[in-house]
Structure 1
């Protein structure tokens, strides 16, 4: 940039008079100061955007920490629920085993009762059919039977009676045990049902916890993704701002040094009649409006705040973007003088025109992202003259012209100055 500015200054000094050279130098100086002021505004706005991105990043990191803590808690609950389920399953298995044994004992008891009942019925039938043994023995004794035989028959009769009574007692006891077994089986069945219901409820709780854990994992993944995106955007914005600041400071230092050197070499007194002219001669700026810099106008991004297409950060867009194929001629929006042309990491190849005073204010127009130049620093150009060609140099995502208008050093909406 210093080289091109020096070339412009040498070209200016080659003019017809020292006064004209000094006047031209003042125009260039005003244009450079305007460009620096506009760039400083852009830097302040982009720095604020970078700060906002850093704040978003910090908030995202805090949310990520909270989500990770919550996820750990849910996973702890899930482990506890799984352990409880294992205990419940073991208790349920034991209860089911006890129930199976009780049901088996109940079946045996039912068989015993059935057998005892049959024996008692059979004995009773036999007794009815043969009559009472004791009475038969007494009858035989009365009919002259041997007393010893009577005694033996009587003993047999008593024994049979005792057996019958014992069978009846056994039947009663078996029935009592059967009743107890039935009660035990019913109680075990109830217990097993309760334990089954509890196990089912616990399994349902585990399912809910697993779903919560999965949701937490998804939430954490989204936060991590957002965190990474925010961090990348913040880093990109900071890097872009740092590069822009470095470039602007270097440009400022070189331009100020060149301007001071040229002023020091200018010895005649200050010009009295040429300050603030249109820079291009003639009446090319008399209309009070600028011309469109392209024959075919297709606005792709207006002036104002927007999401930057590269950094993803909301920042001020300090001009208008006109979409057009690379190589399309770019024309001067008004008469003027080429202050400088150079490459900038953000704006790419750019041409800066001092269009002089229009409607009472100093106007500077810049044409950015050019593929190549068609004019030289210090050249006087007329409205509509080709000064370069559309490109995509610098921080650009495609072929277009980034057109800027600076009024008294501050960038403004170009739409206010176009037809």
Structure 2
């Protein structure tokens, strides 16, 4: 039978992968040690050690199956939840970094946008001022033109200043009168020159104001274009920042959901483990009752039975490789120091299982742990009551009370109970206690 008694100092939660790594390292160390200079007996000893370690590796691989499918599924779900949580946390960190970077870029862009808007306002104000000055210049030029026009009209009405000077010279009665008339003519001529000079200055000033307006228009238009283009950049950065913030929020939500999923998986795994342990406890009680029946039947049997060599007494129940041997080990799921109470043979489902010896079927039932089970008593062997047990079968061809002959097909290999693949778990009970089947095969 398979039992998992608690053992102080023996409990462990190390995964099978770690055990496989350690055992593989030991295999490599053994192989490396067996150098060409070693003696033949040392080589043989090292080969035996290597084979033993390889057997332990296969045993460890098989141990992973020694739990119900519910536990197996729960363990896988828990491992996936743990992996998902790590992934989600990594994505959250990345998303938060992206959101922070996007927000920083947006802040810088908004600050630059504010500067550009201020420059645009200043350029527009300068343009308004230039236009106002141009309008004032235009008004001044118009007034100056009107004044010159009026002067020209007056000149034509009064005569040429030069002619007036000559007329005054001819009509002067005294030198003083001549001087006065010449001075008047000079003043008129000077005033005309001043008016024309002022008109020219107004035209030059107006032209400069027009140039200033054009320059202000170009500056304002450039500032407006730059501001408009930068506004697009700001809007894009804001969209990026919003998207990054949304991604960070979604990542945070995913972490929250994944944490909840992990906790749920943990609870489910614990429930499955408890259910498995309850099944194991019920199985041990049932096996104990069968053991007591075997012991009682042996005590009542006064026959001598078989006396002779144990090796080869039993016929191998199937033709297939040993995938996990009999022996004690740390249970990979529950951490107990327990007994793998039989030898596992790797055989395809549906293969026939043979009776290992002549005997009688004493028990047949379904176990959540071992699936379909069959107990066959093969009588006394060297004074001990010997019983063989077939486990995980798809079905059996015999029932309780039936007699079987050595080599007879008693059932078919399956994967019922705590099994993840087709195989035969073959147990040998000596006086109701599990022993290594290989000692009888």
- How far off is 1:57 after superposition? 4.8
Partner of 2:348: 322
The verdict on how the C-alpha distance between 1:184 and 1:100 changes in structure 2, with shifts beyond 3 A counting, is: closer
SS in 2 for 1:350: strand
Pair 1:169 & 2:213 matched = no
- How far off is 1:138 after superposition? 1.1
Partner of 1:290: 317
Q: Does the 8 Å contact 2:414/2:422 carry over to 1?
A: yes
Partner of 2:372: 349
TM-score for both structures, normalised by structure 2: 0.51
Partner of 1:404: 425
Q: Does the 8 Å contact 1:339/1:352 carry over to 2?
A: yes
Q: Does the 8 Å contact 2:106/2:237 carry over to 1?
A: no
- How far off is 1:51 after superposition? 7.7
The verdict on how the C-alpha distance between 1:106 and 1:347 changes in structure 2, with shifts beyond 3 A counting, is: farther
TM-score for both structures, normalised by structure 1: 0.53
- How far off is 1:222 after superposition? 7.7
The verdict on how the C-alpha distance between 1:177 and 1:198 changes in structure 2, with shifts beyond 3 A counting, is: same
Partner of 2:288: 256
Pair 1:340 & 2:363 matched = yes
- How far off is 1:141 after superposition? 1.8
Partner of 1:134: 161
SS in 1 for 2:171: coil
Partner of 2:21: none
Partner of 1:368: 392
1:206-245 mapped onto 2 (5 Å cutoff)? 237-245=269-277
Gap regions ≥5 residues in structure 2: 8-59, 325-332, 334-339
CA deviations on 1:261-286 (whole Å, 9 max, x unpaired) are 764687669876547999xxxxxx77
- How far off is 1:243 after superposition? 2.2
The verdict on how the C-alpha distance between 1:267 and 1:290 changes in structure 2, with shifts beyond 3 A counting, is: closer
Separation of aligned partners in 1, 2:83 and 2:161: 107
- How far off is 1:343 after superposition? 2.2
The verdict on how the C-alpha distance between 1:67 and 1:36 changes in structure 2, with shifts beyond 3 A counting, is: same
Please provide the CA RMSD for this pair.
Answer: 6.1
Pair 1:68 & 2:95 matched = no
Aligned length: 345
The verdict on how the C-alpha distance between 1:274 and 1:167 changes in structure 2, with shifts beyond 3 A counting, is: same
1:43-58 mapped onto 2 (5 Å cutoff)? 57-58=81-82
CA deviations on 1:31-77 (whole Å, 9 max, x unpaired) are xxx44479x99489659988897677556545544543553454355
SS in 2 for 1:375: coil
CA deviations on 1:281-310 (whole Å, 9 max, x unpaired) are xxxx779543369xxxxx9xx957xxxxxx
SS in 2 for 1:322: coil
The verdict on how the C-alpha distance between 1:333 and 1:267 changes in structure 2, with shifts beyond 3 A counting, is: closer
